[in-house]
Structure 1
């Protein structure tokens, strides 16, 4: 690897994004086997994997929003250096996020909803008949769940919910970069001057407070009414922007507290496991509930801080693999969940053991997504490849590919966890 000594690009954040996307496929395969709600469920679903799933559920998406904020700030600086207007950056960003969203809702996502109503509601119509109802916004796919009537909203964005959220947060960030650069620079300087306690506890406060909203505003991925998710993810996105303004001093300080952050995150995870096990099916005392929501928020930030601290120390370097994988992750994100759902239905009649079936789902999903990405990159015209999140250029270029990699950094997956 070539060391990034003189390059302002934060290569370690690119690697973190790639590693976070490395968890994407196994995590959503895991969702097929746990008792938490998901689109389709294995007959062998149980709580066995849930402790392991809980190890990443609180922080994985937040990390990607944090990286997204830093990536936007970096893209702004590069656009200015290249003489590009802010409007051009916004147009490119909008195209890269919203066009795949629309295409995904019309083409990629519907099979997930189809097999969901087949499995959960015993729907007997064909896929063609379902698509007619899907496009008409049919509201009749309902069932009683946890004592209330739950209806499937159509059309839906399912795992692509991250794209509209990211676009809205990016628009807020774009306005701040355009209208209040001095304020952001000042906040960045203050961030860079924080000591260990400020880094470990002070920066966790927004997430501790956000978690208190979880019961009143449970995660819905309804952009207009999802205040708990907005509170946690927007705060992390903006913190990522400020971290980019703070520069290397902030990352170095964060790296210095990486071990306390890691130990704290693991201790918080252990406390959450005990808490959820002790009150499985029971209502905890309100004071304890508030405290444990605080522990959840601490785990979110400490895990993010530890990941960034270790990555800054060990992964702040460039390589051809970074460029290749960074260019592919957006396409994998768009495709992966539908591929998983389709493969579960394909493998179900074989009645394989959960371990063998799960390993096959992970490997086959990666292979199929890689195949589609390769074909899209080499065969499709640039406008069509863009719909799958693939840059039209035939060969990754370190200069021209940066904007595409920046947008690719801002995509991820739906992760559902216990409230």
Structure 2
């Protein structure tokens, strides 16, 4: 049984822009991770403590938003496959496997290892090893990395390899797509019913109230028991939030009614988000040195975090619907490259940051150079990948046949 979309087939350029902007913010966030005094793969010898509130501005919601817009793009892809004929679920699962699994495996064994290498170098230097690159720690590094035989441990624990680091997002998205394929195999006829139910539940201020209460409930019940690990098998709070956002995006992508409601509440959502961010940033700053807050305050901050999380997402969707629903050559270029940018950006940042820190540049100049090198490296990787077919598959650049026109409403070339 085919599913008839509840709105006319059309491309959601606002979601394309939101996805591109969210990934670009993530790149800047990871540059910030080098400077903020939080544990990361490599850290600046000159940490900037005042950067913490700025990092908190996107910390609660950036990846939840990415899962939501990925779910929406997945809906457009699935609908386009249904229009092409039978076997839509099988072709959907095959498409997601081909699109996500090769880049994930390639990244784990080629792109990510330099991150682990410099993480081990910094850990060795912290243990007093003057030249880690010439020590037994890093001899035959890639082989030790690939076979989980490195034995790289310090006081903070051991480094488990091979690892996916920032590619956890792709691993989770791949699993979510396969779960969705199983659900669609038996229940795709219910898509219009579920979409209408979602529209009824999120009428009026329900668009802001019910998602916040849901996120608060998850943070209250699952959050303390299952802290975020990105390890897939024990990450149940993160799964509840991320898979929930993915399903919400999938069910809401075709709803012009919800799109209009997000546009209507964009300003209240933004104001609520800014107030929640101020509260959460102040709370995090106050207890940044490991102090234990009162339990009542901790419970209240779980609600503030949930409000921050959803209010900024609602504002992004609302302002996107109002101002970003337009096409253009820049959008088409960035949409084609954003997955490649995501795959390579963190390794470029880690390697460049480690070496820049040893040049003794003024910190502002150093940060500007690091941002420029990261974006320049991403663009270079994209330009190379789009010209070398097999590399394009591994770096998330999907070749398009010149004879095949884009279908109306089809998810773009950078569906992730």
Normalized against structure 1, the TM-score is what?
Answer: 0.90
1:331 aligns to what? 340
- The residue that corresponds to 1:304 in the other structure is 313
List runs of 5+ in structure 2 lacking aligned partners: 1-6, 126-131
Deviations 1:291-313 (A, max 9, x none): 20111111111111110011001
Counterpart position of 1:390:
397
5 Å-filtered alignment, 1:270-419, equals 270-280=278-288, 281-378=290-387, 380=388, 382-393=389-400, 399=406, 405=412, 408-410=414-416
Name the counterpart of 1:253.
261
Q: Give the alignment partner of residue 47 of structure 2, picking from 20, 45, 48.
A: 45
| Counterpart selection for 1:57 from 30, 35, 59 | 59
Aligned to 1:185: 192
Q: Identify the match of residue 225 of structure 1 among 219, 234, 246.
A: 234
Distance 1:333 1:139, change over 3 A: same
8 Å Cα contact 1:391-1:404 kept in structure 2 = no
Work out which of the residue numbers 97, 117, 128 in structure 2 matches 1:94.
97
Cα distance in 1 for residues equivalent to 2:155 and 2:22: 35
Deviation at 1:355, TM superposition (A): 1.3
What secondary structure sits across from 1:328 in the alignment? helix
Q: 1:106 to 1:368 in 2, by over 3 A?
A: same
Indicate if the aligned counterparts of 2:13 and 2:326 stay in contact, CA closer than 8 A. Answer: yes
Distance 2:64 2:229 in 1: 16
Shift of 1:82: 1.9
Partners of 2:115 and 2:167 lie apart in 1 by 12
Aligned counterpart, 1:158: 165
TM-superposed CA distance for 1:95, in Å, is 1.0
Bigger shift: residues 215-224 or 159-168: 215-224
Q: Which residue of 1 aligns with 2:147?
A: 136
Equivalent-residue separation in structure 2 for 1:105 and 1:125 (angstroms): 23
**Closer, same or farther: CA 181–156 of 1 in aligned 2, 3 Å:** same
For 1:36 and 1:81, the matched residues in 2 are separated by: 48
1:100–1:386: 8 Å Cα contact kept in structure 2?
yes
Q: Is the 8 A contact 1:339 1:365 kept in 2?
A: yes
| Alignment CA distance shift 1:201-1:351 (3 Å) | same
Aligned length: 398
Contact 1:109-1:156 at 8 Å conserved across structures: yes
The 3 A distance-change label for structure 1 pair 27 and 83 is same
Q: Distance in 1 between matches of 2:155 and 2:358?
A: 28
Deviates more, 1:341-350 or 1:121-130: 121-130
Whether 1:119 and 2:130 are equivalent positions in the alignment is no
8 A Cα contact 1:188 1:242, kept in partner: yes
Bigger Cα displacement from structure 2, 183-192 vs 324-333: 183-192
Q: RMSD of aligned C-alpha atoms?
A: 2.1
Distance 2:404 2:315 in 1: 31
Q: Distance in 1 between matches of 2:382 and 2:405?
A: 19
Structure 1 residue 394 displacement after superposition: 7.9
Structure 1 residues 220, 367: closer, same or farther in 2, change over 3 A? same
CA contact (8 A) 1:323 1:396 kept: no
Structure 1, unmatched stretches of 5+, are: 411-419
1:210 CA drift (Å): 2.1
Q: Please identify, of 105-114 and 312-321, the stretch whose mean Cα deviation from structure 2 is larger.
A: 312-321
TM-score, normalised relative to structure 2: 0.90
- 1:416 corresponding residue in structure 2: none
3-state DSSP of counterpart to 2:116: helix
| Structure 2 counterpart of 1:110 | 113
2:4 corresponds to which residue? Answer: none
- In 2: Cα distance, 1:402 partner to 1:396 partner: 18
